[in-house]
Amino acid sequence: MAASWAAPPPGYPAGHGQAYGGQPPAAPQPQAATAVAVTAASNGVGNPYVMVTPAAATPSTCQTVMKALGRYGKLLEDGTRKAADATGNIWHHLRTAPNMADAAVARLSQGTKVYAEGGHDRVFYQTFGAMPGEQLRKAYACYLSTSSGPVIGTLYLSTARLAFCSDSPICYQGPAGQPLECMYYKASASLTFASTSVQ
């Protein structure tokens, strides 16, 4: 006796292309057209599950690496130039000193003093006092030529004056019978006086 199979219930898929009960597989039912054309302008209007975002134009990895290397190369170049300038200035300073060892010790002690006091501006104001509205612009390591020889120190340029102070005390022998007297060599000139004397 031949077995007859009934058609599958509605919605039940046909098995692997085989017909039930000798019947051909049912053709799929056409779906209602619910597709919405999505464009960047519509941003998926009509479809709550779609949001269109334009792709970001990201640079390639090679471009990113080249940009970073260029930036760090420029920083390295600036740092190298500053280090070379500082080294050249120190070498010139030591070379022109009457005694290289004394100049090196004086520069180290001055650098330590500046660091401990909190910068050149504080050292300047403690040494020379502050005038109303005066601001320190620059400090230079230099020698001041005196009748007893060059004196190593710092030259300060402010908005109101030009000042010099030796890095270490200079000792002088007083009149006969007086003890050795040591003091810092200081000199200060007003910028208004300097500008009128230059003209």
Question: Quick one: 103 and 131 in the same domain?
Answer: yes
Question: Quick one: 75 and 166 in the same domain?
Answer: no
Question: Quick one: 104 and 189 in the same domain?
Answer: yes
Using CA of residue 78, residue 79, residue 80, residue 84, what is the dihedral sign?
positive
Residue 31 lies in a domain: no
- What is the extent of the structural domain holding 66? 60-96
Query: Where are the alpha helices (H) located in the chain, listed in sequence order?
Result: 61-96, 100-117, 120-128, 191-198
Residue 164 CB partners (closer than 8 Å, separation 6+): 142, 144, 153, 154, 155, 156, 185, 186, 187, 188
- DSSP3 helix / strand / coil % (the chain, rounded to 5): 35, 20, 45
pLDDT in tens, 144-171: 888 877 888 888 999 889 999 888 788 8
Residue 21 CB partners (closer than 8 Å, separation 6+): 4, 5, 6, 7
Question: Quick one: 86 and 102 in the same domain?
Answer: no
Could you identify the residue written with the tokens 């692997």?
A: 16
Residue 130 lies in a domain: yes
pLDDT in tens, 92-143: 666 666 677 777 777 777 778 777 888 888 888 888 888 888 888 888 888 8
Query: Which two three-digit tokens encode residue 5?
Result: 């199979």
What is the band of 69 on the pLDDT scale with cuts at 50, 70, 90?
confident
Residue 10 CB partners (closer than 8 Å, separation 6+): none
pLDDT in tens, 7-60: 655 655 555 555 555 556 566 665 555 555 556 556 656 666 766 666 666 777
Residue 168 lies in a domain: yes
Question: Quick one: 77 and 138 in the same domain?
Answer: no
Q: Of the candidates 50, 80, 96, which is a domain's last residue?
A: 96
Question: Quick one: 132 and 159 in the same domain?
Answer: yes
Question: Quick one: 116 and 192 in the same domain?
Answer: yes
Residue 166 CB partners (closer than 8 Å, separation 6+): 144, 151, 152, 153, 184, 185, 186
Q: What's the pLDDT score for residue 29?
A: 61
Dihedral, CA of residue 191, residue 116, residue 113 and residue 132, to nearest 10: 20
